[in-house]
Amino acid sequence: MKANGWAEEAWEKVHEKVLRTSGRIGARFPHASVDGTYVLEAPHWWTAGFWPGLLWLLYRDSDSRDERYKEIAEACEKQLDDVLTGYDRLDHDIGFMWTLTSVARFKLLGEEESRRRALLAASVLSGRFNVKGNYIRAWNPWSEGQRNEGWAIIDCMMNLPLLYWASETTGDPRFKHVATAHADTVLAHFVRTDGSVNHIVIFDPDTGEFEGVNGGQGFAPNSAWSRGTAWAIYGMALSYRYTGKAAYLDAAKRAAHFFLANLPEDAVPHWDFRLPPGIERYRDTSAGACAACGLLEIAAAVQGEEAGMYREAGERILRSLYENYGAWDNPAEEGLLLHGTSHYPERRNVDVPLIYGDYYFVEGLSRLRGNSDTFW
Ligand code: GLY
């Protein structure tokens, strides 16, 4: 098989499966596949962008430019209009949602209505910035009376590209200022010296003072949630791409080295890298796929042998995902990658295909096949 021949083969398998699944899923919002079928979420759920984003990647990189993929992705984006005016439901995941729908469509087709939607989303995301603590507030209350105005989370690193893009497209640096202030807070309070990261950091929302950390989707406050590490790798690398600030690239590398040093033999991470004996060590393929994209982004930012090292590491993960975790031979399974773990502490969607794992896997393949443009 020629170099990357496996990636071509994987690309074909992805197409075969998505041709089938897109018929059932259509312009709706899959999240986790349970017993072979993707469970659908309401459009306001944070994962709403990944399915249309995946379809845009297949549309963009295929000679045939399948119009059905475009139609579905556009119909998904349109449904998000109601979400954009539903203020109470909007949280920091606006970045995931509108980058992979409106920014994607604008970058591919130059559609002005998509640019406007994405700018509105970027404005709402900027509005969540706390100027005292220099962080973007993560969520709204999950339950009646919950006070989480002071919570920031590592996942938000992947929401910052919407702000960088907004500054680029308008020429107005306000959005970028918010993004870099948040990223600097992540450097100061989330990325640990060994390259692992905190999931949730809590600040006093009035004074901005650091109050403590919370384990969130990781096993414990001092454990090392693997998807959180992946969000840090890729998010910091993207912040470097937009700003050229060396500290972001250094942080991306530090998180990457921690991630790589803690991978098991088959290069696909467990859901947390620091688990005590007796706790189930499920894999999280979504963390592997996202980290692989981050490693390829770092490779694009450095030169020579160093670039080769990061590229090889990203490819090793993607190839193992393809060869050991793909659902290619099971037409009854809608997910592309098996064994993702969404939220182990709450036992939600554990050891199942996840739409964001599928998305990052396809983005990683696209990069390996030579397309280094991203929607981020
Ligand atoms: N952003 C939520 C998660 O990673 O599960």
| Per-residue pLDDT reduced to its tens digit, 145-171 | 999 999 999 999 999 999 999 999 999
Active-site residue (options: 82, 88, 91, 93): 93
CB-based contact 258:196 (threshold 8 Å): yes
Q: Apex CA 66: angle with CA 60 and CA 71, to 5°?
A: 95
Directed axis angle between helix 160-170 and helix 112-126, to 10°?
Answer: 120
* CA atoms of 324 and 331, how far apart (whole Å): 16
155 is catalytic: yes
**Domain presence at residue 219:** yes
Query: Does residue 86 belong to any structural domain of this protein?
Result: yes
CA angle 326–330–332, rounded 5-degree value: 125
Ligand 1: residue whose CA is nearest its atom 2: 155
What pLDDT is attached to residue 327?
Answer: 97
375 domain-assigned: no
Predicted pLDDT of residue 64: 80
Q: Which atom of ligand 1 is nearest to the CA of 342?
A: 5
- Is residue 335 within 8 A of residue 261, CB to CB? The reply is no
Decide if 304 is inside a domain: yes
> Is 329 within a domain?
yes
Would residue 100 count as lying in a domain? yes
pLDDT at 4: 82
Q: What is the pLDDT of residue 345?
A: 98
Q: How far is CA 244 from CA 32, 250, 251, 295, in A?
A: 36, 11, 13, 17
The reported pLDDT for the residue numbered 314 is 98
The pLDDT value recorded for residue 3 is 54
CA 155 to ligand 1 centroid distance, Å? 6
Residue 376 falls inside a structural domain: no
Q: One of 155, 272, 284, 358 is an active-site residue; which one?
A: 155
CA of 333 to the centre of ligand 1 (A): 22
Testing ligand 1's pocket by substitution, the residue of 46, 234, 344, 350 carrying the most ligand atoms inside 8 A of its CB is 46
CATH number at residue 134: 1.50.10.10
| Known catalytic residue at 61 | no
Q: By C-alpha distance, which of 202, 185, 187, 82 is closest to 138?
A: 202
Give Cα separations from 129 to 19, 123, 243, 313, 337 (angstroms): 40, 10, 19, 35, 35
Angstrom distances, CA of residue 235 to CA of 31, 150, 290, 302? 21, 21, 10, 16
Q: How many domains does the chain have?
A: 1
Structural domain of 30:
5-368
Domain assignment present for residue 211? The answer is yes
The pair phi, psi for residue 269, each rounded to 5°, is -70, 155
pTM of structure? 0.98
Structure tokens at 28: 């709706």
Q: In this structure, which amino acid lies at residue 124?
A: V
Distance CA 57, CA 368 (A): 13
The rounded distance, in Å, linking the Cα atoms of 270 and 135 is 29
Give the pLDDT confidence score for residue 63 in this predicted structure: 84
pLDDT given for residue 65 in this prediction: 84
**8 Å CB contact between 287 and 260:** no
Pair 157, 183: CB distance under 8 Å: yes
Q: What average pLDDT values come out for the chain (376 residues) when binned by 10 residues?
A: 82 96 98 98 98 98 91 98 93 98 98 98 98 98 95 98 98 98 98 98 98 98 98 99 98 98 98 98 99 98 98 98 97 98 98 99 97 95
Report the nearest-CA residue for atom 1 of ligand 1: 155
Phi-psi region of 351 (alpha: psi -120 to 50; beta: other; left: phi over 0): left
Tokens linked to 328 = 């290619």
